[in-house]
Amino acid sequence: MLLEVKDLRVEFPTRRGVLTALNGVSFSIAPGEVLGVVGESGAGKSMTGAAIIGLLEPPGRIAGGEILLEGRRIDNLPLAEMRKIRGKRIGAIFQDPLTTLNPLYTIGRQLVETMQAHLPLSDAEARQRAIGWLEQVGIPAAAQRIDAYPHQFSGGMRQRVVIALALCAEPQLIVADEPTTALDVSIQAQIIALLKRLAREQRTAIMLVTHDMGVIAETADRVAVMYAGRIIEIGPVRQVVRHAQHPYTAGLMASIPPLDRKVERLAQIDGSMPRLNAIPPGCPFSPRCPHVFERCRVSRPELMPAGATDAACWLHDQPGASA
Amino acid sequence: MVAFVISRLLQALPVLLVVALISFALFTFVGDPVAAMLSQDASAADRENLVRLLGLDQPWYVQFWKFISNAVQGEFGLSYRLSRPVSSLIAERAPATLELAFCAAAMTLCIGVPLGIFTGIYKDSWISRLLLTVSLVGVSLPIFVLGMLLILVFAVQLGWLPSFGRGETVQIGWWSSGLLTASGLKALILPAITLAVFQLTLITRLVRAEMLEVLRTDYIKFARARGLSNRSINFGHALKNTLVPVITIAGLQLGGIIAFAIVTETVFQWPGMGFLFIQSVGAADIPVMAAYLLLISLVFVVINLAVDLLYYAVDPRLRAQR
């Protein structure tokens, strides 16, 4: 396994007590694999990504569990060690390309400094490679555009630059946090296709955080569904989309409007996700679940085999049951 | 670029003209120079003679035109109080004020900016909290109180530094410098500190606030995610992004230091332009006051131009909009 996350717990100390933002999150990513992470806002998807690259916003902190990169723990590394992993072994792509690039430096300079921070390259070599990367991500006339500033590019072009920046030190894993959310729909498909192609060519694994099931279905090999700081279902993307085993996932899939027929009313999940300070005991989804029974309200289900996926739902603890 | 400089200079012209008009109006509305210049027993004929000599019988716009064309040539007439050309009075006093102002400005930037960066990066350390508390005192302490406290401690009680004056000066052409003699340097310390403290604490707090703001941005987070060193993030990426507002305020402050050195110069009997101005106000010495006003507005115009040019050097986005 390239990346293993085991029982990760992230806490935010606040004046009114400690909030647990992530609780018992476990998953792994194989080399070259694309893992999609979906969920509503506040479910903890972005926070999982931030914890992996060691950039949780203070006062958030990892309060338990382990993160292993090729078998070596990286969640408790000193800052200087972690710096060598960021960019070099785990790259990152952020949501809004308009704000992720430093407005005062040319994109070439930003590429060169990133490569030189991790690879023994001379200025001329780094510049050559920077032009190469810009060509790779589809910036036209890269040799001329390398000395342009971020504001001289459109949003889609800037996200291509960000992708080049994430890939330029050749990391094994990229944490992409909503990489297409801020872009026009027509650009989204291009960026996803680009990301997918480069990941395949470079054998780079991707953790793709998004709330867009369409992007996930298109791109991911496996998908993890998060709810209230937990993974509630994880499995091959095809299985999760077609045969969701957790009632929440099933509800999510049902709420995607079908294109081939007209529906009077879109399916929806009643209620909303609990606040972090008011997560019910037992299964966090139990207050909204159409299949809830007594056990769900008192004890919390862990991920368990359910059909072709793993789901955290007591329905699957009974022989022969399904959601 | 050249077009930009020229357009800014053209924009500055109306400003200077309005200030000139105000300075000129001083002559008309404040006191009667003829009465002040004539002796008690002068006759009506003497008076008319003098009025004609001074051009005061002309309409106001002719007088104003003469005032401006003289001012452009550096000619501001005679001081009522000292009966000497105003231009040479100011030329004598300017070096003292400028040396004091630039020492204070250098102190402000060389201490204030690093302190601001430090307190911005290590915002939770106790040293930062201490510095911020002390800076609050600096911001709120009036300059004259600080000046007198410094005199009391370092000049009166400890006797280390002189309490007034400029010490020995060295004449270099028309410029008299106190920077080349030991007594001149010693005399400079207290007034420079007095003048710098307020500006220094202000710039510290400004740089800190800007650093905190910039360190929260996505591009700094992304720079961290790219694995850049802290040094390069803090000084390369963050500091440069704080510069535009800092340059603006620093420019205004430099103008302020030159223009409002009046209080400090008075407290330390510093023989500069501010002290000259205060003495002139006391004696209703209009030509000196008018010249001082014009000179200070010119200083502000020049500094603003320099600030605008620095924006260009720092921020490529501004270059693109032209």
Which residue, chain included where needed, has tokens 């769900």?
A: A296
By residue range, what is the domain housing residue A273? Answer: 230-258+266-317
Give me the mean pLDDT over the A89-117 stretch: 91
Nearest to B316 among A53, A79, A149 (CB): A149
Q: Is it the case that residue A297 has pLDDT exceeding 50?
A: yes
CA dist., res. A183 & res. A37, Å (int): 19
B225 touches chain A (CB under 8 A): yes
Residue ranges of the alpha helices (H) in A40-154?
Answer: 45-52, 79-85, 97-100, 107-118, 123-136, 142-145
Answer yes or no: do A101 and A196 share one domain.
yes
Pairing of strands B170-172, A309-311: unpaired
Among A67-71, A109-113, A251-255, A262-266, whose mean pLDDT is lowest?
A262-266
Answer yes or no: do A177 and A39 share one domain.
yes
Nearest to B226 among A99, A103, A114 (CB): A114
CA dist., res. A306 & res. A322, Å (int): 8
Residue A264 is predicted with a pLDDT of 77
Count of domains observed in chain A = 2
Nearest to A117 among B221, B229, B315 (CB): B229
Answer yes or no: do A86 and A204 share one domain.
yes
Answer yes or no: do A90 and A111 share one domain.
yes
B175 touches chain A (CB under 8 A): no
In chain B, the domains with their CATH numbers are: 2-72 (no CATH), 86-321 (1.10.3720.10)
Give me the mean pLDDT over the A4-18 stretch: 90
Q: Could you read off the pLDDT of A145-163 as tens digits, one per residue?
A: 999 999 999 988 999 999 9
Nearest residue of A to residue B240 by CA position? A104
Q: Which amino acid is at A122?
A: S
Q: Could you read off the pLDDT of B114-151 as tens digits, one per residue?
A: 999 999 888 888 888 888 888 888 888 888 888 888 88
Nearest to A113 among B218, B219, B232 (CB): B232
Which residues of A are less than 8 Å from B322 in CB distance? Answer: none
Answer yes or no: do A198 and A238 share one domain.
no
pLDDT confidence band for A323 (50 / 70 / 90): very low
Answer yes or no: do A192 and A283 share one domain.
no
DSSP-derived secondary structure for B62-125: HHHHHHHHHHHTT---B-TTT-SBHHHHHHHHHHHHHHHHHHHHHHHHHHHHHHHHHHHHTTTS
Answer yes or no: do A75 and A192 share one domain.
yes
Give me the mean pLDDT over the B263-271 stretch: 86
A179: Cβ contacts below 8 Å, ≥ 6 apart: A93, A94, A95, A159, A162, A163, A191, A192, A195, A208, A210
Q: Could you read off the pLDDT of B41-86 as tens digits, one per residue?
A: 778 888 888 777 777 777 888 888 888 888 888 888 777 778 788 8
Among A156-160, A259-263, B230-234, B278-282, whose mean pLDDT is lowest?
A259-263
Which residues of B are less than 8 Å from A169 in CB distance? Answer: 226-227
Contact of B23 with B294, CB cutoff 8 Å: yes
Answer yes or no: do A278 and A209 share one domain.
no
Contact of B215 with B238, CB cutoff 8 Å: yes
Beta-carbon separation of A165 and B222 below 8 A: yes
Work out the minimum CA distance from B320 to partner chain A, whole angstroms: 8
Interface confidence (ipTM) of the complex = 0.88
C-alpha angle B278-B280-B282 in degrees, rounded to nearest 5: 75
Best residue in A104, A118, A174 to probe B by mutation, most B CBs within 10 Å?
A: A104
* Domain containing residue A165: CATH number: 3.40.50.300
Is residue A323 domain-resident?
Answer: no
Among B31-40, B48-57, B284-293, whose mean pLDDT is lowest?
B31-40
